[in-house]
Structures are given as C-alpha cells and as structure tokens.
Amino acid sequence: MAEEPREIWITGIGLASSLGDGVREHWKAMTDAEAGPALDVERFEPYRVHPLSDIDFSKQIPKKSDLRQMERWQRIGVYSAGLALEDAGIAGDPSLLPRTHLVVAAGSGERDTAVDSQVLDALATRADTAVLAKEILPSALRPTLFLAQLSNLLAGNISIVHKVTASSRTFMGEEMAGISAVENAVRRVAAGQAELVLVGGALNAEREDLLLGYELGCNLWANAYRPVWQRLEAGGGFIPGSAGAFLVVEAREHAEARGAKPYAEVRGIASNRARRIRPGEIRDSIDALFVEVSKGLATGPLAVLSGASGVSRPTSEELAFLDDLDTRHFAPVIRAYGSRLGHTVEAHFPLGVALAALALNRGGFYPAYDGGGEAEAPFPQASVLDRVLVTGVGHWRGEGLAVMERTSDGRA
C-alpha cells in the first residue's frame, strides 16, 4: 500500500537573529569570513548572549493590539514566520493559508522576573508561604502574561496574525522540539498527509528566567567568547542566541503547480534519543542516524552544518562522530553555525536546515567559524556544493540529522 514518498522542497525561509533580518542579510553576514559574532557581554554577566538585532516587528505584526499581547519570544517567532510565508509567496493568500499547516518548536513563555524578585524578597521577610497566594500573586500577575507563558501561544499568535489555520501543533523539549517539528512536517508532506507546512521556532535568549533554567543544569558558557569547538578544552557550555527560524516545507508537485521555486530538497531526516548514561552513546546514536539518512549518498566531500551547542559531552561526541566519517569515505567540511549565531535551542535545528537550504541555493558554503581551530577545514575549491548534512544534538537530550540536497531548478 505504501506509495513512493514525495519529494520535499523548502520553498520559503524566514530568519531573524543577532546578525540581521531576512535571508539576504543572513547570507551576507554568515559568508563574511572576517566578521565576528554579535555579543552582549554585560547585561547578564558573567554570561554572554547573542542579542537580537534591531528589528521593527511591526513590519510583520502591524496591529499594535497584537504586539501588546505578545512577549518577545512570540514576537520573534511571529515575525520570522511572516518572513517565511512572504518568501514562499503564501503571505496573505486566502486560498493557501487555510490549507497551510503549522508546526512550532517552543519552550515556555517569559516570566515577569521583576515580580518574581519582589515576591522572593517579600517571602524572605515573612516566611509565610500563605502570603504568596493571598496577598502578592493575585495583584502581581497579569492575565496577559499568563497567555504569553503558554507554549502553544506562539503558534496561536501566528494563526491570528498570519491566518495559517489548517492545523497547529507545538512540540517541546529544547533542541528535540525543533528536530521533532521539522521531522513531523517532512514526514507528513512525504506521506501526502499535508501539502504545505510552515515550521520553525523562536528563542529570546535575553531572558533572566531562561538563563536561570539552563544554568540549573550548569550548561552555560560563562567565560570570554570562544567558538563552539574551542570551548571543549575549557569545560564547555553554550552561549544562547536570540533567533527565529521558520521554513515553508512543501510537496514538490504542489510547489510546481503554483509556480514556487525551491531553495533545496530535504532528502532525509531522522532522530533518536540516547539515554546518555555511558560514554559513546550519543556518538553511536548519531552514527546510526547517519546510516539511515545517508543511504545512497555518494561518498566524498560532505558539507556539515553542525548544531553543536558547546556543551561538553554532546559536542565532543558529535565531533568524534564527524571525525570518524572518513571511515565511511566521507570527508566532512564542518561549520558550527552556533559559533556565529549562538545556540538557539528550540529554533536551532530549523535554523540549521534554513542555512543549509540557503547555501545550496546560492551554490556556496560558509567560511570557517572556529577562529583558526582545527575542526573546520576549508571547503574544497573544486567541489560543487550539492548536499549538506545538518546535525542537531541536544545539550541534554535528543539527536537528529537531516540531509539536504540541491535541486536542479532552484530559485534565482
């Protein structure tokens, strides 16, 4: 009964990050070998973050009443989702939007940290927790804030602002959320359960509460900036980056019928979750995934966009896996895009897929980001960029790989 899976195209990309706004600005910033990352080293000292560039949200979220209802992570997401729809030629199309499915990778919304701090100070002087429920919280909490805290409200706001309504689902679980979201979109389109899916995620890294959450597991990098791979020798850790990354995933037939051109094709995607009890489990997990997604893939140079976070164990096991690819006769040319953009957690895998699609469309790869380190070799001059491996290894859990390929009839 199983029919041949359909070809999956990326027909739209929406990006917002510390390096800019939109596909063009990102291509320019990410291919600039001399440029460095954008960092804020003071606000959350000793932690660093890659702060969102100056973005006029009203360009994609025109109604003030909508903007007022959203916290910043939602604005970033709704904004980049709008860019992706526009890029794919779907924005404002009343015949396509009700048939466009939505898949979002999200964490939880933002807390009012000023209120939290005030409550904690009050509790310190009156160790009476009843006071919390009785006197402080009811006046301190705002109903709109609660709505901004619900994980699925990024999706909800995208539906409201951009009118995407075929279906709406939100996945959670840090990096796994982004991997699950892209995989869900791709599998549904491949099987004919959907034609057109808007998928992505957003992170506001400039958040007191979010940094606290990550630091509970001691995952953050709290020293002077280093590229991802070079943090390994100093204990590891990630630098969060604000970003929104959305993709329009579309069945080839559907795209062709409406005259939409692809950036690239998603050739394969797979995910897993190693228990991470024994050393080497992550590496084995990614290795098994590679066997799955590389079936029929010609050996030779292989461009890799690595979603490595810099957190010690997953990053070193991923590097070991990549280094070992030569035993499978692949010569990996690695770029950890997080060195430039920061680790964007839920948005990170969609971001990697977007950057891969963009490079395949432009026909060139990105320069090394590791400041003269050994992990990132130059892309062989004579080679054509015709496929990219995207990796996603969660800082705590979850592994995913995608293989992207150039399409013969790409967008100009």
Partner 1 sequence: MMSERFMDKKGRPVVVVTGMGLVTSLGWGKQENWVALQNGRCGIKSISRFPTDGLRTTIAGTIPNRPGHTPENYSACDLSLAIAEYAAAEAVDQAGIGGAGSFPGPLIVATPPSELEWPHLRRLYLANDDKQQTGYRGLRAAARSGEFTDLARHVRFAAIADALQSRFGTLGEPLSVCTACASGSSTIQFAVEAIRRGETEASLCVGADATVHPEGLIRFSLLSALSTRNDPPQAASRPFSRSRDGFVIAEGAGALVLESYRHATARGAQPLGVVLGVGEKADCYHRTRSQPDGAAIIGAITKALEDAAVDPEDIDHINAHGTSTPENDRMEYLSLRRVFGERLSGIPITSNKSQVGHTLIAAGAVEAVIALLSLQSGIVPPTLNYRDPDPEIPLDVVANAAREVPMRTVLSNSFGFGGQNVCLVFAAEPN
- Least distance CB 391 / partner 1 (angstroms): 14
Regarding 168 and contact with partner 1 (CB under 8 A), the answer is yes
Of positions 12, 156, 268, 332, contacts partner 1 by CB under 8 A: 156
Q: Interaction with partner 1 in 266-285: which residues (CB under 8 A)?
A: 271-273, 275
Of positions 33, 124, 382, 412, contacts partner 1 by CB under 8 A: 124
Beta strands 300-306 and 330-336 are: parallel
Regarding 174 and contact with partner 1 (CB under 8 A), the answer is yes
Q: Interaction with partner 1 in 316-375: which residues (CB under 8 A)?
A: none
- Least distance CB 315 / partner 1 (angstroms): 18
User: In angstroms, rounded to a whole number, what is the distance separating the alpha carbons of residues 355 and 159?
Assistant: 25
The residue (of 147 and 320) whose beta carbon lies closer to partner 1 is 147
Regarding 398 and contact with partner 1 (CB under 8 A), the answer is yes
The residue (of 192 and 280) whose beta carbon lies closer to partner 1 is 192
Of positions 41, 218, 234, 331, contacts partner 1 by CB under 8 A: 218
Q: What are phi and psi for residue 89, nearest 5 degrees?
A: 75, 25
List, in order, residues 6 or more apart from 382 with CB less than 8 Å away: none
Is the previous residue joined to 46 through a cis bond, with omega within 30 degrees of 0?
yes
The residue (of 114 and 257) whose beta carbon lies closer to partner 1 is 114
User: In angstroms, rounded to a whole number, what is the distance separating the alpha carbons of residues 272 and 374?
Assistant: 28
- Contact between 229 and 100 under an 8 Å Cβ cutoff? The reply is no
Of positions 81, 164, 205, 402, contacts partner 1 by CB under 8 A: 164
The residue (of 152 and 312) whose beta carbon lies closer to partner 1 is 152
Task: Give the E-state strand segments of 18-166 in sequence order.
Answer: 20-21, 101-105
> Which tokens sit at 328?
């499978």
| Cα separations in angstroms, 260 against 14, 134, 337 | 16, 57, 28
Of positions 99, 261, 313, 397, contacts partner 1 by CB under 8 A: 397
The residue (of 164 and 304) whose beta carbon lies closer to partner 1 is 164
Regarding 188 and contact with partner 1 (CB under 8 A), the answer is yes
Amino acid residing at 195: E
Residue (of 304, 400, 322) closest to 359 by Cα position: 304
Of positions 33, 216, 382, 412, contacts partner 1 by CB under 8 A: 216
Write down the residue that tokens 């992170």 correspond to.
203
User: In angstroms, rounded to a whole number, what is the distance separating the alpha carbons of residues 379 and 404?
Assistant: 17
User: In angstroms, rounded to a whole number, what is the distance separating the alpha carbons of residues 149 and 345?
Assistant: 17
- Least distance CB 73 / partner 1 (angstroms): 14
Regarding 6 and contact with partner 1 (CB under 8 A), the answer is no
Regarding 191 and contact with partner 1 (CB under 8 A), the answer is yes
- DSSP per position, 233-293: GGTB-B-BB-EEEEEEEEEHHHHHHTTPPPSEEEEEEEEE-----STTHHHHHHHHHHHHH
Element (H, E) at 350: helix 348-362
User: In angstroms, rounded to a whole number, what is the distance separating the alpha carbons of residues 57 and 65?
Assistant: 13
**Which listed range, 183-191, 320-328, 330-338, 350-358, lies at the site for partner 1 (CB under 8 A)?**
183-191
- Least distance CB 296 / partner 1 (angstroms): 20
- Contact between 8 and 251 under an 8 Å Cβ cutoff? The reply is yes
Regarding 155 and contact with partner 1 (CB under 8 A), the answer is yes
- Least distance CB 206 / partner 1 (angstroms): 12
- Least distance CB 301 / partner 1 (angstroms): 29
Per DSSP, the three-state class of 105 is strand
**Which listed range, 23-31, 87-95, 182-190, 304-312, lies at the site for partner 1 (CB under 8 A)?**
182-190
> Which tokens sit at 307?
């979603």
With CB under 8 A as the rule, give the number of residues binding partner 1: 81
**Which listed range, 207-215, 249-257, 303-311, 312-320, lies at the site for partner 1 (CB under 8 A)?**
207-215
Of positions 147, 293, 297, 320, contacts partner 1 by CB under 8 A: 147
Phi-psi category of 304—alpha, beta or left, where left has phi over 0 and alpha has psi -120 to 50? beta
Regarding 64 and contact with partner 1 (CB under 8 A), the answer is no
- Least distance CB 134 / partner 1 (angstroms): 4
- Contact between 244 and 81 under an 8 Å Cβ cutoff? The reply is yes
- Least distance CB 272 / partner 1 (angstroms): 6
